[in-house]
A = this chain, B = another copy of it.
Amino acid sequence: MSEERRLDVLRAIVEDYVRTREPVGSRILTERHKLGVSPATVRNDMAALEEAGLIAQPHTSAGRIPTDKGYRLFVDQLAEVRPLTVPQKRAIETFLSEAVDLDDVVARAGRLIAQLTGQVAVVQYPSLRRSGLRHLELVPTAEGRLLVVVITDTGRVEQRFLDVPVGMDDGTLGELRARFNAAAAGHRLTEIGHAFARVTEAMPDEHRALATAVAEVVTAALAEESEERIVLTGQANLARTGMRFEQGLRPVLEALEEQVVLLGLLTDMTDDAGVAVSIGHENRLAGLSETSVVTSGYGSSDGDTVAILSSIGPTRMDYPGTIAAVRAVARYLSRVLPS
């Protein structure tokens, strides 16, 4: 009993099931794939594969479908890389380069992945970690409310509201802004705290509280780690024919709305710059136990993974195609994004 042929059978099962979405039996298998053996032989192999936990049958007298473990083996050893077509690549490049600002780049990347894979795309924004302060702006809004705008040297912009005690005037604000900006110029995050402290100390007593509050907000914004935003695209794809889940769409949609948890899942998965795949129950999120997640970090110039983009679909997904799409978009993204 050839071990190699058994894997051929597994590959055939996965490919057929992904395509037809129906349990595949021994007869059809021999008809559609040139295995060179009879159905009976395939049946024996199938029995062995089932013994190994790689395939299962939904009920007696139905064909076999791959288990999570089966998909795992397929992805790790059996799947062949299927590069995108040249037109596809070109489309990615032009579409991304037309982006008008940072948010737009991210949104477009999401749309690309959703389109290419026919699934849901999840893109996680660059985080602020290790950012320096480029500029600080203070904008009074409603009474007693101040909008603090922080621009980092990586090009990220953060906004924060601040409740301020009454009795501040434009002049004070202008002075405060000028001093903070001067103090922060060229400093890294770690040093900004000290620089700001010196500024607040130098302020006249009546404005000290305000200055401290602003300093706090700014450093908090810079240090904030959870300030990673998530963008979802292509949720309509969930309703496409063939996206049927045993448990229905509900757990999936709910899981996708749990942005914080989702974020954790993505960051945990993405080990380095490569593409990672998490299959079915491998996902910690219960709602995603019928789905697989394909992620890739896109790195900054210094090799660190600053953000993640991914595609989520049923475990019965086209893994080679999805992996190729995610990887391609990630690569182009690394090129376009600010270092």
B240 and A257 contacting across the interface, CB-CB below 8 Å: no
Q: Which of B105, B137, B153 contacts A151 (CB 8 A)?
A: B137
Find residues 81-115 in chain A having any chain B CB closer than 8 Å to their own CB: 99-103, 105
Instruction: Evaluate whether A248 and B239 lie within 8 angstroms (CB atoms) in the complex, with A142-B337, A142-B338, A153-B139 already known.
Output: yes
Question: Is there a chain B Cβ closer than 8 Å to A332's Cβ?
Answer: no
How many copies the complex holds: the figure is 2
Q: Which residues of B lie under 8 Å from residue A254 when comparing CB positions?
A: 236, 239
Q: How far is the CB of A313 from chain B (nearest CB, A)?
A: 15
Question: Is there a chain B Cβ closer than 8 Å to A314's Cβ?
Answer: no
Q: Which residues of B lie under 8 Å from residue A103 when comparing CB positions?
A: 159
Q: How far is the CB of A176 from chain B (nearest CB, A)?
A: 14
Chain A interface (Cβ < 8 Å from any Cβ of B): 99-103, 105, 134-135, 137, 139, 141-142, 145, 147, 149, 151, 153-155, 157-161, 233-236, 238-240, 248-250, 252-254, 256-257, 335-339
Q: Which residues of B lie under 8 Å from residue A158 when comparing CB positions?
A: 101
B248 and A236 contacting across the interface, CB-CB below 8 Å: no
Greatest chain B CB density within 10 A among A233, A235, A248 is at A235
Q: Which of B155, B159, B238, B253 contacts A101 (CB 8 A)?
A: B159
A151 and B139 contacting across the interface, CB-CB below 8 Å: yes
Expressed in whole angstroms, the Cα–Cα distance for A238 and B338 within the complex equals 37
A100 and B160 contacting across the interface, CB-CB below 8 Å: yes
User: Can you list 25 A-B pairs with a CB-CB distance of less than 8 A?
Assistant: A100-B160, A101-B160, A101-B161, A102-B161, A134-B137, A134-B139, A139-B153, A139-B155, A141-B337, A141-B338, A141-B339, A142-B336, A142-B337, A142-B338, A145-B338, A147-B155, A149-B151, A233-B257, A235-B256, A236-B253, A236-B256, A236-B257, A239-B253, A239-B254, A240-B250
